[in-house]
Structure 1
Amino acid sequence: MRRQVLWFFSVLCLSSVLGQVSYSIPEEMAKGSLVGNIAQDLGLDVKRLQARRARIHTGDSTEYIQLNKEKGLLVVKERIDREALCGQTTPCALHFQIALESPIEIFPVTVEITDINDNAPVFQKDEKNIEISESAVIGSKFMLEKAIDLDIGRNGLQSYTLKPNDNFILKLHGQSDGVKKVEMILQKPLDREKKEFASLLLTAVDGGEPQKSGTMQIHITVLDANDNAPVFTQTIYKASVKENALKGTIITKVSASDADKGSNGEVSYVIGNGVIGSLDLFHITEDGQLILNGPIDFEKARNYEIDIEAVDRGGLSDSSKVSIDVGDINDNSPVINMISSSNSVGEDSRSHTVVAVMSVNDPDSEENGKVRCVINKNIPFALTATSSNLYSIVTDSDLDRETASEHNITVSCSDEECPPSPAASLSPYRSLT
């Protein structure tokens, strides 16, 4: 996978210094809100910051933070929604560089975005209908919908309540993905002749201040005779699928059995609501085959945790989980971004004078994302890696303007899947006396 970029420069005496500056701000701050005093934190006065043409470099990312050169401050440029930016990933941070010239200096900056309680728990459905046999035994369990809260930590979903709870109690089970499985447990026998219908209110609450909640109505119809609930053969199924798998690919098959006979022993399968959007990406057949239903992207999600329910005709149910690992393919090319470059350099410049700085990134993982960069030979310049994804072009030997006043420089970057090819060229290069 390859990318090509062309630019022009000449040589002056430059240097490159790398330092790390970090800030932390809450999400949803108003535009213009202060992030930090970058001039002070870099040890520069405002006039020097302006004279050295300070600027922010974000690569291909959206620029949420801007530099106020008049005051030497970093301020919020665009509204930052932590959930839209990072989802459930934590910590959530913006990464960019402050670039200075004369001499060139690059300062990596990290701004951590902390969560606020701006989302309430939400059920995907307003109500759920359950049919339960009056012969259901004490301890029979019925799977309930899980609420989704986009916030994390204490601001995320914390607990559930069920009212009235004359016949049922709630039981929560922690799962590997941190989400609690919600079961309604029968604690008092049902009598269809006394009460054929019941309506319960399931409430999900978070731990924020102020506390937020969401509700779902549960309608219960009491039926006759169903003594056994379905039972999955496994509590968790593990599967994998490549990110370029076609729609219709069978990912795995789940299976549950029910000891009842006839219609009460017939089991159907449904996908729960554990992951937003999972119903668009996957579907399950009547015989338990989990099918890929839409495009998946390793760079967006490396794993999916899918809740599967097995329900019999009497309303009894069991649940299992399918953990799907998404396999990466080499579907991304290295991306080259020029951070800073000079227009000229003196022929008396010292060795290792920096003339350009660039960043190179490949969103693929492991071997697919390893990038190798080289520079063309027989020129008085060298390519050096200043960090995992930053490269500098520096003078490597004496410059002689009378011998060569211009140089063409080609930087070639490629990932591990193919040999290096031209990815960046500097031409012409001019030496100054």
Structure 2
Amino acid sequence: MLTWPKGLLQLVLLHTAWKMGSGQLHYSVLEESQRGTFVGRIAQDLGLEVSDLVPRMFRMLSKGEKDYFEVNMQNGILFVNSRIDREELCAKNADCVVHLEVIVEKPLRFFHVEVEIKDINDNAPFFPAREQILSIAEFVIAAGTGFPLEGASDADIGTNALLTYQLNRNDHFVLDSGNDEDESKSVVLVLKIPLDREESPVHHLVLTATDGGEPKLSGTVQLVINVLDVNDNPPVFNQSLYRIKLLENTASGTLVINLNATDLDEGVNREISYYFSNSVPLLITKIFSINSNTGEIRLIGKLDYEDINFYELQTVAEDKGNFPLSGHCKILVEVLDTNDNIPEVSVSSLSIPVAENSPSGTVVAILSVSDKDSGINGQVSCFVLPTGLPFRLESTFKNYYSLIVGAPLDREQVAEYRIVVTVRDQGVPPLSSSISLLVPISDINDNAPAFTQPSYTVFVKENNPPGAHIFTVSASDPDVAENALITYWTDEKLWPLSSYISVHSESGKLYALQPLDYEELKLLEFQVRAKDAGQPSLCGNVTVQVFVMDENDNAPAVSRSSEENLILLVVPVMPGHIVGKIHALDADSGYNAWLSYELVEESSGPWIVGQYSGEVSTKYSLDESEGSKIHSVLVLVKDHGKPQLSATATLSVSLVTSGQAIKTDVHLQRSGESFMPLVDSINIYLIIGICSVSSLFLLAILIYMALRCHCKAKETMVYGPGTATLVCASEVGSWSYSNRHSHILAGVSAEAGAKSDLMIFSPNVPVLANNGELKNGTEMPSNSSKEITRGEEPKELGMGIEKVGANSISEIQLVAADVSEI
């Protein structure tokens, strides 16, 4: 293992500390270090606990092809993993840095680490050939004439590549190794004393090149000097150094330079040929060509600034004498950058899907951008398309961007985003490239189930079969998967609601568990709830009103008191004399309870009956000629339902003459031991009759007033902004009201009371007949249940029902009153 000088170690540590303070780690290590060589405590320097490296998925990425470094996950130490040859890695570049990217998950963090590879003196200077041959004419070349030699090269850099030259001791030549204009060491062999071919036709010299490293390394080349006898003037270029600048997009065939060398000799000794020096690499001859006759140098290959941005062309001009002489010049070609490389963007890390409740600043992806161009052509900007997305880019490190959440997300509005990340350089014209990222949004349970309507009104005919499907409620949830899996329920513990209605938990279908009886139950009002399967679950509810519609399932019932007594009618009587009245009741409601009376044709006789009052009266005058006999009046009582139901009542009327009536009275008086005169008896009966009628009339007035006050003071059940209205019979008919109890189940309570069978509907609620037809003439399908929606036009009800006003379907009132005929 190599040991560092104390001063160098302190300098490296100081440089590392300065780099860490600038936001990234910087280490340095000598090239050719053995595997396992300590580089730095990377976990400690990054502020990470060693125990967290594995749980947090610590990983290190290298941009190169080889993994020169590795991290010990047990102690957090960065060490050399494989042999590093700085010259192979960075060639002659002064700065040789290996870039490492460190990514730590949970939470996601990103670090940039640079490891500088320090040069060691591991390469000796070397010459391109084992020997160099020079031809120098005798006595012709004056003392002080210089002959450029092909210098040595050293793959190292800095002091390790600083070369010095030495020539073995001789009498004729010395070295001149001064700096050229290009600041590179050049070697010139200077003639100190003119040569004499006869004295020594060939001189063998050894040229040694030594670098400045520790320890010093050196290389040698043999110099063979041939002494010529003729052609004592070599070609001379008008410049010893040429500087040329070419754009990297210069077309093939372009003239680079036209060299011009002159020779003071004459004839064949001044004819010059041009060629590249043997020290020029083969690669250069594939890019540049030289015309041996004219000295034109042209571009024959493709220049690439990103590959090689500088060329050095050693050129020789040689005459054609028997002993050719040559001149040398150097051409420095600088390649200028053009914007010919499209910037690139790649994804280093991607965390998807993104939860829709992710806070602003959540990192979705880490992007790496690069451009091989330099200067302004290599300066790039990164942005997201299309604009207006809830994501933005944030620069993290040089050429690294983080795609983060910039605004609230809502999966129900946008389930996924296709984000186009575009990178563009600042060249002229600018170049750009893009990548597309598909970012799905994961769902959270943030939406409660919602019903299509705030409430439902359902009409169901009574006497439905058990288990009949009466309606279906439906709720929707914009979430997905289990967050949108909806179940329906009502509170099954509520009695008696649970004995009437059931809801299917999956379909939302409402079923009537038992036959409904309008005469006992007119309205069921309850709430159906919908709950999703999310965590935590969310609920919604809706109010359902089920109105039970009456069917004509009860026949009229005649009061027994109407048939029990025999009616004595004293003749003669005038036409229209009221004999008696039939009292009948119907347990149904509405048209189904609207009764009419008529006589059976066979037994009509001298009698007529009021169609709606039930009063039996004489059709024409009756006198003593009718005789003493008993008449049976058979009255048929019918309702207005469909199908129509009826009942019969028999009224017995005995016709007696005035004498028979007096005898009967006298007989009754004697049996009671009362001997009042007959006229007095009649007067007493008359007075009693008048008092009775007056009392009944007064009682009727009082009952009517009490009922009116009771209707006004009675608390009504109002659904909506409307008020309750009592609807009375019309002039053409009468209603029959039952005294049976009716029930209303609303929510969790059941209210029972003595209420009439009269139901008041708002104008926009249709009243159905038994055959499914609307009473006012508008047809409606005769299915078991109907939903009444808002916004229907008001409809007039049937005959005998007054029109009541209401603003909406919710204005449905039930009016309770005990009604008796007046």
Change in CA separation of 1:256 and 1:420 when aligned onto 2, cut-off 3 Å: closer
CA contact (8 A) 1:345 1:432 kept: no
How far apart in 1 are the matches of 2:164 and 2:104?
Answer: 50
| TM-score (ref. length: structure 2) | 0.48
Match of 2:438 in 1: 426
Match of 2:536 in 1: none
**Secondary structure, counterpart of 1:106 in structure 2:** strand
Match of 2:347 in 1: 338
Match of 2:366 in 1: 357
Change in CA separation of 1:419 and 1:402 when aligned onto 2, cut-off 3 Å: same
Change in CA separation of 1:65 and 1:210 when aligned onto 2, cut-off 3 Å: same
Structure 1: runs of 5 or more not aligned: 1-17
**Deviation of the 1:185 alpha carbon:** 0.6
Change in CA separation of 1:232 and 1:62 when aligned onto 2, cut-off 3 Å: same
**Secondary structure, counterpart of 1:351 in structure 2:** coil
Match of 2:313 in 1: 306
CA contact (8 A) 1:238 1:324 kept: yes
Q: Does 1:297 align with 2:307?
A: no
The structure with the greater share of residues assigned to helix is 2
How far apart in 2 are the matches of 1:409 and 1:59?
Answer: 26
Deviations 1:137-175 (A, max 9, x none): 111211211111111112114111122421000111323
How far apart in 2 are the matches of 1:134 and 1:251?
Answer: 37
**Secondary structure, counterpart of 1:263 in structure 2:** helix
How far apart in 2 are the matches of 1:114 and 1:59?
Answer: 19
Q: Does 1:400 align with 2:426?
A: no
How far apart in 1 are the matches of 2:30 and 2:436?
Answer: 38
Match of 1:371 in 2: 380
Match of 2:599 in 1: none
**Deviation of the 1:206 alpha carbon:** 1.2
Change in CA separation of 1:140 and 1:175 when aligned onto 2, cut-off 3 Å: closer
Q: Does 1:186 align with 2:191?
A: yes
How far apart in 1 are the matches of 2:367 and 2:38?
Answer: 28
Match of 1:261 in 2: 266
CA contact (8 A) 2:127 2:152 kept: yes
Q: Single out whichever of 368-377 and 391-400 deviates more from structure 2.
A: 368-377
**Deviation of the 1:133 alpha carbon:** 0.5
Letter of the 1:351 counterpart: S
Change in CA separation of 1:356 and 1:275 when aligned onto 2, cut-off 3 Å: farther
Match of 2:86 in 1: 82
Q: Does 1:109 align with 2:113?
A: yes
Q: Does 1:73 align with 2:82?
A: no
Change in CA separation of 1:176 and 1:54 when aligned onto 2, cut-off 3 Å: farther
**Secondary structure, counterpart of 2:417 in structure 1:** coil
Letter of the 2:284 counterpart: S
CA contact (8 A) 1:164 1:201 kept: no
Q: Does 1:217 align with 2:227?
A: no
Matched pairs, number: 416
How far apart in 2 are the matches of 1:29 and 1:431?
Answer: 53
How far apart in 2 are the matches of 1:165 and 1:279?
Answer: 37
CA contact (8 A) 2:382 2:424 kept: yes
CA contact (8 A) 2:339 2:430 kept: no
**Deviation of the 1:100 alpha carbon:** 1.5
**Deviation of the 1:310 alpha carbon:** 3.0
Change in CA separation of 1:67 and 1:295 when aligned onto 2, cut-off 3 Å: farther
**Deviation of the 1:29 alpha carbon:** 1.9
Change in CA separation of 1:70 and 1:430 when aligned onto 2, cut-off 3 Å: farther
**Deviation of the 1:322 alpha carbon:** 1.4
Q: Does 1:199 align with 2:208?
A: no
Select which of 168, 186, 192 maps to 1:163: 168
**Secondary structure, counterpart of 1:184 in structure 2:** strand
How far apart in 1 are the matches of 2:46 and 2:398?
Answer: 22
Match of 1:409 in 2: 419
Change in CA separation of 1:60 and 1:156 when aligned onto 2, cut-off 3 Å: closer
How far apart in 1 are the matches of 2:317 and 2:178?
Answer: 17
Select which of 19, 23, 28 maps to 1:19: 23
| TM-score (ref. length: structure 1) | 0.87
Deviations 1:254-306 (A, max 9, x none): 22212222333333333346665434543422222223354432102212232
Deviations 1:27-63 (A, max 9, x none): 1223333221110111211122222212223346544
CA contact (8 A) 1:125 1:216 kept: yes
How far apart in 1 are the matches of 2:433 and 2:328?
Answer: 52
Q: How does 1:84-99 map to 2 (within 5 A)?
A: 84-99=88-103
Change in CA separation of 1:294 and 1:146 when aligned onto 2, cut-off 3 Å: farther
Letter of the 1:285 counterpart: N
**Secondary structure, counterpart of 1:173 in structure 2:** coil
Change in CA separation of 1:431 and 1:238 when aligned onto 2, cut-off 3 Å: farther
**Secondary structure, counterpart of 2:342 in structure 1:** coil
Change in CA separation of 1:52 and 1:108 when aligned onto 2, cut-off 3 Å: same
CA contact (8 A) 2:41 2:78 kept: yes
CA contact (8 A) 2:418 2:436 kept: no
CA contact (8 A) 1:281 1:295 kept: yes
* RMSD over equivalenced CA pairs, Å: 2.6
How far apart in 2 are the matches of 1:432 and 1:70?
Answer: 39
How far apart in 2 are the matches of 1:192 and 1:210?
Answer: 41
Deviations 1:305-327 (A, max 9, x none): 32323344455544322121213
| Structure showing greater Rg | 2
How far apart in 1 are the matches of 2:109 and 2:167?
Answer: 60
Structure 2: runs of 5 or more not aligned: 1-21, 446-822
The structure with the greater share of residues assigned to strand is 1
Change in CA separation of 1:138 and 1:358 when aligned onto 2, cut-off 3 Å: same
**Secondary structure, counterpart of 1:84 in structure 2:** helix
Match of 1:320 in 2: 329
Match of 2:518 in 1: none
Letter of the 1:284 counterpart: I
Match of 1:385 in 2: 395
Letter of the 2:224 counterpart: H
How far apart in 2 are the matches of 1:421 and 1:189?
Answer: 68
Match of 1:118 in 2: 122
Q: How does 1:25-44 map to 2 (within 5 A)?
A: 25-44=29-48
Letter of the 1:323 counterpart: L
**Secondary structure, counterpart of 2:264 in structure 1:** coil
Letter of the 1:209 counterpart: E
**Secondary structure, counterpart of 1:125 in structure 2:** coil
Match of 1:9 in 2: none
How far apart in 1 are the matches of 2:284 and 2:328?
Answer: 16
Match of 2:750 in 1: none
How far apart in 1 are the matches of 2:324 and 2:167?
Answer: 19
How far apart in 2 are the matches of 1:48 and 1:199?
Answer: 70
Deviations 1:347-400 (A, max 9, x none): 443322222111100102234333332213343111222344111111111223
Select which of 279, 284, 288 maps to 1:282: 288
**Deviation of the 1:249 alpha carbon:** 4.0
Change in CA separation of 1:132 and 1:420 when aligned onto 2, cut-off 3 Å: closer
**Deviation of the 1:126 alpha carbon:** 1.1
Match of 1:15 in 2: none
